Amino acid sequence: MRVPAGDGARVAPDTQAARYPQVLWQTAAASGTFWRVAGIEVVDVAHAIQLAVAPVFLLSGVGVILGVLTARLARIVDRARAAEERVRNDVAQDTPETRAQLRVLARRARLMNVAITLITITALLVALVVALLFASTFAPMNLATAVAVLFVLSMISLVVALIAFLLEVRIAIAVLRIGSW
């Protein structure tokens, strides 16, 4: 028997089936319904999986963005190390232009670090959303508010990370000098 429970439906405890598991199995088999484990039907689990698919795709996209950001940071670090090595090996290379380039690279690296940190926080929050979506299937409590808050926080974190990424790209383009040699 199903009874309404908030925004979803839960299986009401069946005292006879709880005392006699064979009765539960025989009743489910005779009626052609899915077998229930601790009051949860396979259909409920399937619904939880359906709800979690969209955040999992979001998590996949966040992972791709994280890969792009870390690759950019690695490139910035490589360029800064090369510039520092040139200055160390040749004092004539220690010019105001080289120092300015190192300051720009340091600023870009800081922005990339902020973006990577925020994207990682986004991934953690989305993973918590997925976990709570599954937990709401098994726990007899309403986790809708927690899921909504975590999702909104993850979107805010994603937006701020993308803004930091945009700022880093704009700085990189602003100091780009193609054909100025």
The answer to whether the CB of 78 falls within 8 A of the CB of 131 is no
Does 81 reside within a domain? yes
pLDDT in tens, 29-61: 455 444 444 566 777 777 777 777 778 888 999
**Residue 76 DSSP label:** H
Shared domain for 85 and 137, answered yes or no, is yes
Shared domain for 95 and 140, answered yes or no, is yes
Q: What does residue 4 show for φ and ψ, rounded to 5 degrees?
A: -65, 140
Does 123 reside within a domain? yes
Does 179 reside within a domain? no
Shared domain for 151 and 82, answered yes or no, is yes
pLDDT in tens, 61-99: 999 999 999 999 999 999 999 999 988 888 887 888 888
Predicted TM-score (pTM) above 0.85: no
pLDDT in tens, 100-122: 999 999 999 999 999 999 999 99
